[in-house]
Amino acid sequence: MDTYCVRCGAPTGEGDHAACRARVAYDPPRYCPGCARRMVVQVSPSGWSARCSAHGEVAGNAQELV
Ligand SMILES: [Zn+2]
Ligand SMILES: [Zn+2]
């Protein structure tokens, strides 16, 4: 489930995503790590949740998704 970068949507095996990782430490992810679809992100007082139309909801620590 971490084929794609949740920040830029590019394959994690290509390029350098260090800046993306730093960014998702405090921003919700934007792309599904499994299919790179753009996710619907909802920010709440307790955190955030992101939903992929194919894989469902992703929530929690965004750093673990990169
Ligand atoms: Zn990236
Ligand atoms: Zn997906």
From ligand 2's centre to the CA of 18, what distance in Å? 22
What pLDDT was estimated at residue 60? 61
Please give the Cα distance from 11 to 60 (Å, whole number): 21
* Global model pTM greater than 0.85: no
Strand order in the sheet with 47-52: 40-44, 47-52, 56-59
Range among 5-14, 26-35, 37-46, 56-65 rated most confident: 5-14
From ligand 2's centre to the CA of 17, what distance in Å? 19
Residue 22: pLDDT over 60:
yes
Whether residue 3 lies inside any domain: the answer is: no
From ligand 1's centre to the CA of 23, what distance in Å? 9
Residue-range definition of the domain harbouring residue 25: 18-65
Percentage with pLDDT > 70 across the chain: 86
Whether residue 12 lies inside any domain: the answer is: no
From ligand 2's centre to the CA of 27, what distance in Å? 18
Residue 19: pLDDT over 70:
yes
Length of the chain: 66
pLDDT, greater one: 60 or 13: 13
Number of domains, the chain: 1
